[in-house]
Structure 1
Amino acid sequence: MTNHLDINADMGEGFGAWRIGGDIDDAIMALISSANVATGFHAGDPSTMTHSLQEARRHHVAVGAHPGFRDLVGFGRRHIAAAPDELVSDVLYQLGALRELAAREGMAIRHLKLHGALYMHAARDADFATELCDALLQVDAKLPVYCLAGSELDRVAEIAGIQRVHEFYADRDYDDSGSIVFVRQVARRDPDAVADKVLRAAQQGVVETLSGKTLAVRFDSVCLHSDSPGALEMLTAIRRRLDDEGIVLRSPGAG
């Protein structure tokens, strides 16, 4: 059982006049401890990124870069066949963009979390995971990486001595292998049921799979996607349940 927990969500996933998930980012920011800010390739633009940074600062939320494939049309959820070195350069480009905007706000980037199809690519592709970790060691060896436990990125980052932050998915189902069941259309979920799931995972270290099996889980952070239907209601219920149990919200880099 833990007495503290990180909650992370993807923020700033709009582009210009368009907002993904409605106008609830600011409300969600008040309920989380870590924000993954879109960095321009799958979503986000300089003004949107700046707004997300300012809201994160206002709510004392740790900010991380959320780079994706160069895929605005597909929201970064389509795989793009590219060489590892090209993808690593794309990641560093996006990290640098957010880092400079954050510096102007007097803020530091606290973690890196890849987005969508690029996140899953790093989980499977050892060559990309290796080149990415090599690059991170050069630009910021102390920057934690959010990743799937047991993935290629997790394995390579551990060898490289890079801090990993393993995630538990509040708004996604698990299969009996412990893998996340990804679907194109995410159904609206009962907020109280999601809150119960998170609390059980935090206190007992288990999750119920789609088949009804009880599976052990170990994690450092709870992820809830801000574009999931009912995201704000789910986060509100999670925070209420955690607060009632005396579980404090804390980002991985906090003391």
Structure 2
Amino acid sequence: MLVDSHCHLNFEQLSSQLDDVVRRAELAGVGHMLTIGTKLREFEAVRSIAETYSNIHCSVGIHPHEAEVEGADVTVEKLVSLADHPRVVGIGETGLDYFYEHAPRDVQKRSFRIHIEAARKTGLPLIVHTRNADQDTIDILTEEYKKGPFKGLIHCFSSGWEVAEKSMEIGFSISISGIVTFKAADELRDHVRRIPLDRLLVETDSPYLAPVPNRGKTNEPSFVAHTAARVADLKDVSADEVAEVTTRNFFTLFDKIRRED
């Protein structure tokens, strides 16, 4: 069994054909999916998907792109309250994005720290988005961890090695997306070779970043099998072993989910 540890099933490209998307995932051996919250105003739609399908859970959070628009609404207490639901198993996605900078950096940092405190209070994993913000991401995670432990992962990892190294030092996992199959992703492939298999998860980040051989198509959870196969090749192990270990890693990290779910 494979797990797509990060997808956006409420986005129109997938929600408009959700039954078929879920069916194709199951046929591809994807036994579980985590659909991710990016806006509080859309959280009910995200949670509804997780309530509808037994093999889907969800997270609650505000993407850094939305930090300014939804900044007045995000508090630790609100996140903790929304996370108090059996289908909500993670906090985020949150973090820093200095590539697009749709929100001011100070606003992104404030939101990031609020999500970290919510993860600390709930005990749920923190789902971190970081792009072109390596040092600030490292600094905030390190500073906050000294205040009290929390668990989490770097999603859609494509950063420098230091982000992987420092996040693993505080116990984080690293999630690999279809980027690892892209022609220009040699540096990422080198990093994947170095990351211990017991720290890896796989994801689609669908509907974006469709892996080879589906580049240019709308990404969906069934395509995570291609990412897992590339990881297996890089780690010189079988695809079955990658499926087994990354699935175990997922359920170990997201331990609010009962494996039989």
Q: TM-score if structure 1 supplies the norm length?
A: 0.54
Partner of 2:91: 112
Alignment partner of 1:162 out of 150, 161, 167: 150
Q: SS at 2:10's partner residue?
A: coil
Alignment partner of 2:7 out of 7, 10, 17: 10
CA distance 1:145–1:127, shift in 2 (3 Å): same
More relative contact order in 1 or in 2 (CA 8 Å, sep 6+)? Answer: 1
For 1:153 and 1:64, locate their aligned partners in 2 and report how far apart those are by CA, in whole Å. 25
1:134 aligns with 2:113: no
Q: Which has the higher helix share?
A: 2
For 2:206 and 2:40, locate their aligned partners in 1 and report how far apart those are by CA, in whole Å. 18
1:93 aligns with 2:81: no
Partner of 1:223: 203
For 1:66 and 1:118, locate their aligned partners in 2 and report how far apart those are by CA, in whole Å. 18
Question: What amino acid is the match of 2:61?
Answer: P
Q: CA deviation at 1:227?
A: 1.2
CA distance 1:38–1:168, shift in 2 (3 Å): closer
Q: CA deviation at 1:35?
A: 0.6
Summarize deviations over 1:228-248 as a string: whole Å, max 9, x none: 244235324345676734221
Partner of 1:151: 138
Question: What amino acid is the match of 1:161?
Answer: P
1:246 aligns with 2:225: no
CA distance 1:98–1:161, shift in 2 (3 Å): closer
Show structure 2 runs of 5+ residues with no match: 164-176, 209-216, 233-237
- Report if aligned partners of 1:123, 1:154 keep a CA contact under 8 Å in 2: no
Show structure 1 runs of 5+ residues with no match: 70-75, 180-192, 199-206
CA distance 1:237–1:163, shift in 2 (3 Å): same
Q: TM-score if structure 2 supplies the norm length?
A: 0.53
- Report if aligned partners of 1:42, 1:68 keep a CA contact under 8 Å in 2: no
Q: SS at 1:133's partner residue?
A: helix
Alignment partner of 2:65 out of 77, 88, 99: 77
How many equivalent residue pairs?
200
Summarize deviations over 1:28-47 as a string: whole Å, max 9, x none: 7642645134375363535x
Q: CA deviation at 1:221?
A: 2.5
For 1:145 and 1:28, locate their aligned partners in 2 and report how far apart those are by CA, in whole Å. 28
RMSD of the alignment, in Å?
A: 4.7
CA distance 1:176–1:94, shift in 2 (3 Å): closer
For 1:236 and 1:220, locate their aligned partners in 2 and report how far apart those are by CA, in whole Å. 14
For 1:118 and 1:234, locate their aligned partners in 2 and report how far apart those are by CA, in whole Å. 25
